[in-house]
Structure 1
Amino acid sequence: MRLSPRAALALGLLRLCLAQANFAPHFFDNGVGSTNGNMALFSLPEDTPVGSHVYTLNGTDPEGDPVSYHISFDPSARSVFSIDPNFGNITLIEELDREREGEIEAIISISDGLNLVAEKVTILVTDANDEVPRFIQEPYIVQVPEDIPAGSSIFKVHAMDKDTGSGGSVTYFLQNIQSTKFAMDHHSGVLRLRAETTLDYEKAQAHFVIVVAKDGGGRLRGADVVFSATTTVTVYVEDVQDMAPVFVGTPYYGYVYEDTVPGSEVLTVVAMDGDRGKPNHILYSLLNGSDGAFEINETSGAILVTQSPAQLRREVYELHVQVTEVSSAGSPAVQATVPVTIRIVDLNNHPPTFYGESGPQNRFELSMYEHPPQGEILRGLKITVNDSDQGANAKFNLRMVGPGGIFRVVPQTVLNEAQVTIIVENSAAIDFEKFKLLTFKSLCPCC
């Protein structure tokens, strides 16, 4: 059949109009909560496992042509999804982190081979309780005076949890609350000294308080979890002047010997401020008991004897030493006293001495008849013995050295001084025909 030129032109226009009538494909919009369609208002929990099928793109072509699906991302962003172009199944291929990336922007497209329709979508990443509370501005170190009132606020800790909802709320607790002097406000994180509790620098110069920050809990990978973190608050206690001076090395005893030179040191009293953190200067003084025989160095505490031992009138001196703290301002502060006992000690440096009627004498003579009565006292001898030492050093024994058993000396033990008596023990041995001269030595060995 041959067409006229006008008929052929009309048929060509018809074919052109039919070719231009191929309409573009489109996505289905299935609304909020749907897992297939055009990802409108789609959200995804951040703890979704990698490899999960999370969504299916779904659309149609008006002419019924087959369609393919695609998803792409900005070159500067992560490609967190992959897609099956034939079925539109979207798979998570990168871990999500809401705290780092709360929204994901992507471009989804559908194509029938001739037409391509692209849409920009935003996927909301929802929170899971995957963050641990973190303390900020650590380390926590605070200095507190030891006289701070009970119940006072000391320090405030602060922890943050990047999660939302209950997982992002933080409360505070103390570990070992029964053994601590401190209390914690659970909501504000304020650390306080507990009621009816005091600090004491002399007992503890530092306290280490362990604080726990705990979140409110939440879901993570299908389970309810609670996260916590700990930190240490170091509380240094500052010393204040609340303690009297303390003497070291008590009790104090000193000795002055008879050969001690005036001005010699007898002993040293040592005291220190009971407040060890910021000690005051210490001054020493004698209150009483010295009778002018002793003095003390006000800065060193050294006690000196000021008189010759021969001038000292007592064998024992009971002194009382006072120490006075001097504050940083120079004014006297707290005082304390301590007793000091000083004994005057005799040296055993004087041997016993025999005395006759006219003074010291080392030879005594007597004429007597032979065979005197046994037990008779030799009255012609007037002998005194003396040891000028003092105390136990003045105790000694007497004995006769010569022909044995003829005479006996009384007393045999002497303390300081005694009259010496010689008594006949063996009358028969005193025989003129045998002995015209008897010689004896009287010895005084120390006890």
Structure 2
Amino acid sequence: QDGGGKLRGDNKVFSATTTVTVNVEDVQDTPPMFIGTPYYGYVYEDTLAGSEVLTVVALDGDRGKPNSIHYCIVNGSEGSFEIGNTTGAISVIKSPNQLKKEVYELKVQASEVSQEGDVSVHAFAMVTIRVVDLNNHPPTFYGENGPQNRFELTMYEHPPEGEILRGLKITVNDSDQGANAKFNLRLVGPGGIFRVVPQTVLNEAQVTVIVENSAAIDYEKFKVLTFKLLAIEMNTPEKFSSTADLVIRLLDTNDNVPKFSSDYYIARIPENSPGGSNVVAVTATDPDSGLWGEVKYSIYGTGADLFLIHPSTGIIYTQPWAVLDAEVNSKYNFYVKAEDTDGKYSLAEVFITVLDVNDHSPEFNENIQEKTMIIGSPVKIEAIDQDAEEPNNIVDYSIMQADPANVFDIDQSTGEIKLKSYIRSLDIIHNITKKKDCIWSVVVQAKDRGSPSFSTTAVLKIDITEETLHKGPMAAFLMQTKDNPMKALGVLAGVMGIMVLITIMISTAMFWRNKRSNKIMPVRRIIKKRQTPQSRTIRMEWLKFKRPSSAAEKFVVEDDAKSLHNENSNNNIQVAPVPPTAPLP
């Protein structure tokens, strides 16, 4: 371009252009550069050893005359990966199952190599390789010697609750990684006896079995307990699982007492059974095994003196010298004991009834020889049978012989003898017999209802008389006790004793004794009122016997004594009883 000037009146500047080409020659002054960073690669669980994972690429920064690039792994491989020297291809050199890490961080170096073979500059890049689990391993149980699907243990029954079964050494493992290795652990079998911990496992855990219900671990119920250990994956679609048998053999302990078949035993044995007779057999069982299950029997108690028991069979029998008599003792009660060899025992009660045997005949009372019968009133005979039970001791009465036979009737049950209903006076009796004394001899029989039946006969003399016209309780009493004077004497003595006691009580209440003068004084002052004397006649007749007015009349009793209690109590008059007069000859 020029400096310009005037042209045709204008100021003009003229210029010219041209193209200049400059060639720049490259010099090796730029390091190599990795293309496509960052680098990520994946190794799947089923990848074969030697398979290529990924390829890294680096270029020489000098474009004119680029040098060749060589690759190497600086660190992070742990011998599991390799890289192509010139290609940059990274390969896995081990089986994925042998890879110990889930993620590998590789440091890769790219170096420029000149045509002369000299290494000039370097560049570095990080490569991340993740090992991917494909969930192709189920959980597996291991014992001390490797994988195992059956575990056995021997232990005593009834261990304490919360105790760990220390004889079991079980490990469970899932070789997968992450969520694929998470699984549940359960114990399948009779519920509530044991529990397993842990219940959730990630990769691997030691299996522990703990006692939950000691009572259910019973040798008498289950000699062998069988369970299954179940491990099942939680969060995988495949839900891989595995099982292992757990067999627990129980050992017996003496945890049971002998038990009788009944809480009480009731037995019966006839009286007069010979010594050594069997009475009853008791049975007790102990479910324990061996010596612990052996039972020995014994008896004790106040009622066991006449009995023995076989220590092994439990048969109760009478002593060789024992004599059982239902009339002496018909009930025996004692305890039987069943004991094992370790001293554990239980009791049962035994009730033995001695059955009555009809071995006694009825016996009449001693005063049966003679009875006095008043016409219209019966006389009673009584016989006692010493047997203990009915019907052996029930007595029936009958008249075996009487002359004439149509004079008396007898009540079969009570033994009351009375005249026939048409006999109402001695005159009728005199028309029947020529006897003047009206004394009959009657053969009576007392017979029990046992089988066989026993009977006793006796001759009864009945003196028949008429009732007197002068009736009174004392006369009736003396007539009834004519054949038993001791009974009458006893009753009279009792009446006299009561009267003396009443007199002493009244005297104690009305009078007191002065200790100084030893005089008897009234308890309180008595003011006597004069009364107009009145004639009073007291006539008391105790007993008056008269001669019989006829041949049929034996004696007469008069009892006209009247009570003066109301009048005498007002005047404090004590009237002594008049002693009885002797009977007239």
What TM-score, normalized by structure 2, do the two folds share? Answer: 0.46
5 Å matches for 1:154-303?
A: 154-176=279-301, 179-217=304-342, 226-247=343-364, 254-256=371-373, 260-261=374-375, 264-271=376-383, 273-275=385-387, 276-279=389-392, 282-285=396-399, 295=408, 297=410, 299=412, 301-303=415-417
Distance 1:270 1:5 in 2: 144
- How far apart are residue 268 of structure 1 and its match? 2.1
Higher relative contact order (CA 8 A, sep 6+): 1
Q: Larger C-alpha radius of gyration, 1 or 2?
A: 2
The whole-number CA distance in structure 2 between the counterparts of 1:347 and 1:109 is 111
Shift in alpha-carbon separation, 1:387–1:94, aligned structure 2, 3 A:
closer
Secondary structure of 2:166's partner?
A: strand
Corresponding residue number in structure 2 for 1:400: none
Counterpart position of 1:357: none
Q: What is the CA RMSD across the aligned residues, in angstroms?
A: 5.2
Aligned partners of 1:233, 1:80: CA distance in 2, in Å?
44
State the SS of the aligned residue for 1:166: helix
Q: Deviations over 1:18-49 (max 9, x none)?
A: 459x997731269xxxxxx9995422222321
Cα pair 2:229 2:246 within 8 Å, conserved: yes
1:107 to 221, 224, 228: 228
Cα distance per residue 1:230-286 (max 9 Å; x no partner): 222333333322121144796676323xxx54xx45402233654433336634235
Unpaired runs of 5+ in structure 2? 1-70, 72-82, 100-132, 233-239, 471-545, 559-581
Q: Deviations over 1:316-366 (max 9, x none)?
A: 77766432346668xxx422245656556687769xxxxxxxxxxxxxxxx
Unaligned runs of 5+ in 1: 31-36, 218-225, 351-385, 396-412, 417-447
Whole-Å separation in 1 of the counterparts to 2:145 and 2:310? 51
Distance 1:324 1:271 in 2: 9
Quickly say closer, same or farther: Cα 1:149–1:296, change in 2 above 3 A. Answer: farther
Amino acid of the structure 1 residue aligned with 2:156: P
Match of 1:324 among 441, 447, 458: 447
> What is the CA-CA distance between 1:3 and the residue it aligns to?
3.0
- What is the CA–CA distance in structure 2 between the aligned matches of 1:43 and 1:266, rounded to whole Å? 91
Alignment-derived partner of residue 146 in structure 1 = 271
SS in 2 for 1:55: coil
Instruction: Report the CA distance shift for 1:6/1:291 in structure 2 as closer, same or farther (over 3 A).
Output: farther
Tell me the secondary structure at the aligned position of residue 256 of structure 2. Answer: coil
- Asked if structure 1 preserves the Cα contact closer than 8 Å seen for 2:278 and 2:316, the reply is yes
Decide whether the 8 Å contact of 2:171 with 2:206 is kept in 1.
no
User: Does the Cα contact within 8 Å between 2:275 and 2:321 map onto a contact in 1?
Assistant: yes
Partner of 1:398: none
The sequence identity of aligned pairs, in percent, is: 18
Cross-structure match for 2:455: 335
CA change 1:248–1:393 in 2 (3 A) is: closer
Choose which of 71, 94, 104 in structure 1 pairs with 2:213: 94
**Preserved CA contact (<8 Å) 1:170 1:216:** yes
Cα separation, 2, equivalents of 1:296 and 1:15 = 129
The residue that corresponds to 1:434 in the other structure is none
CA distance in 2, matches of 1:57, 1:391: 114
Cα distance in 1, alignment partners of residues 86 and 313 from structure 2: 93
Whichever residue aligns with residue 92 of structure 1, its letter is V
Deviation, 1:387, is 4.6
User: Residue 167 of structure 1: SS of its match in structure 2?
Assistant: helix
C-alpha contact (below 8 Å) 2:548/2:554 kept by paired residues: no
Q: Are 1:80 and 2:194 counterparts?
A: yes
Alignment of 1:2-17 (within 5 A): 3=84, 11-12=91-92, 14-16=94-96
2:143 maps to 1:27:
yes
Tell me, in whole angstroms, the C-alpha distance in 1 between the residues paired with 2:416 and 2:86: 143
Instruction: Name the SS of the counterpart of 2:312 in structure 1.
Output: coil
Q: Could you list the per-position Cα deviations for residues 103-133 of structure 1 after superposition, in whole angstroms to 9, with x for gaps in the alignment?
A: 222335899xxx9875312112222222222
SS of the counterpart of 2:333? Answer: strand
1:355-403 Cα offsets, whole Å, 9 max, x none, are: xxxxxxxxxxxxxxxxxxxxxxxxxxxxxxx9545887599xxxxxxxx
1:54 aligns with 2:168: no
**Inter-CA distance 54–248: structure 2 relative to 1 (3 Å threshold):** farther
One-letter amino acid matched to 2:354: V
Change (3 A) 1:7 1:180: farther
Give how far 1:135 is off.
1.6
Distance 1:132 1:28 in 2: 41
Question: CA separation in 2, counterparts of 1:105 and 1:92?
Answer: 14
The answer to whether the 8 Å contact 1:283/1:326 transfers is no
> Partner letter of residue 391 of structure 2?
K
- Counterpart of 2:187 in structure 1: which amino acid? F
Q: Indicate how the Cα distance of structure 1 residues 24 and 265 shifts in structure 2: closer, same or farther if over 3 A, else same.
A: closer
Amino acid of the structure 2 residue aligned with 1:3: G
CA distance in structure 2 between the aligned counterparts of 1:59 and 1:80, rounded to whole angstroms: 15
Amino acid at match of 2:228: I
Write the letter of the residue equivalent to 2:353. Y
CA distance change for structure 1 residues 303 and 25 in 2, over 3 Å: closer, same or farther?
Answer: closer
Deviation digits for residues 123-149 of structure 1, max 9, x if unmatched?
A: 122222222222225653333332432
8 Å contact from structure 1 (residues 240, 278) kept in 2: no
